[in-house]
Structures are given as C-alpha cells and as structure tokens.
Amino acid sequence: MSDVRKLEEKLNNLESRLKAVFEELEKRLNELAASHADNLESRFQELEDIVLLVQVEQMKLVERVNSSIDISFPSSAATDSRTTELERLVHQIAERVDAVENAETSKADFHAPKSDFIEPEYRAHTLEKLQKILAG
C-alpha cells in the first residue's frame, strides 16, 4: 500500500507541476496574443499613415505639374491671321497642283515657264513657311 501512496503522491506532484506548466504556457500565449494584436494594430496604423503621406505627395506633385503647364489659348486675332495665311498657302498649293495636272494632261499644248511648276526649292520653302506658321 505504501507503493500505491507513493505512486499517488508522485502522480499528484506530477499533475500539479503539469498544471503549473500549462498555466504558465497559457499566460505566455495570452501575452503573446495581446502583444501580437498590439503589433498588428500599430503596424496597420503605420501603413495607413504611409498611404496618407503618399496621397499628400501625389496631390503636391499634381499641383506642381498643373501650375507648370500653361493652358492659355491664343488670341482670336492671332488665330485668324494664321488661318488666313494657311488658307492662302493652301490655295496657292492647290493652284500649282492644278497647273501641274493640266500640264500633264495637255503636255503638247502647255508651254508655261518652268517657274509655274512646283520646283523642289519652292516646295521646300512653302513647307518651311507652313511649319513656321503652325509652330506659331
């Protein structure tokens, strides 16, 4: 019987030690869970702050870009003069093209001087004028 008591006593001691170990484990797990939740909460707050900072920087960049772009429309007088100049040049080019087409269709009857044809130099000069007008 004494063996049974010794075994029972050892089992009780073992049980009490195991309860203490499990209580300690539970306590540590609860502390870890609480600190982990705090860490997650603080990390989430940090991420929200970073997102807000990025949005502010984006707004500043958009404002800088918008302020550097000059969206002004040319005055109507400048536009009108460019339009009339372009129309005049287009009309001249159309007349020259018609002259060349007429010359090709009736080569035998057409004895116009060479200056009436679109020469490469004149064409280049006209194109340069058009580019200057368009560039404004």
Helix, strand or coil for residue 114? helix
Instruction: Note the residue count of the chain.
Output: 136
Q: Mean pLDDT across the stretch 52-60?
A: 88
Helix runs in 1-136, H state only: 2-68, 76-105, 120-135
Range of the domain at 81: 76-135
Instruction: Give percent above pLDDT 70 in the chain.
Output: 76
Mark whether 14 and 32 lie in a shared domain: yes
Mark whether 63 and 92 lie in a shared domain: no
Comparing 34 with 6, which gets the higher pLDDT?
6
Mark whether 124 and 59 lie in a shared domain: no
Comparing 76 with 130, which gets the higher pLDDT?
130
Which residue among 49, 71, 93 closes a domain? 71
Q: Would you say 85 and 133 are in contact if contact means Cβ atoms under 8 Å apart? A: yes
Task: Give 107-136 pLDDT, tens digit per residue.
Answer: 545 444 555 555 677 777 777 877 777 776
Q: Would you say 82 and 133 are in contact if contact means Cβ atoms under 8 Å apart? A: yes
Pick the most confident of 19-33, 75-89, 117-131: 19-33
Which residue among 71, 105, 122 closes a domain? 71
Alpha-carbon gap, residue 71 to 94, rounded angstroms: 34
Alpha-carbon gap, residue 42 to 51, rounded angstroms: 14
Structural domains of the chain, count:
2
Alpha-carbon gap, residue 60 to 79, rounded angstroms: 35
Mark whether 1 and 67 lie in a shared domain: yes
Mark whether 33 and 16 lie in a shared domain: yes
- Cα distances (angstroms) measured from residue 66 to each of 1, 55, 63, 71, 135: 96, 16, 5, 9, 23
Mark whether 67 and 97 lie in a shared domain: no
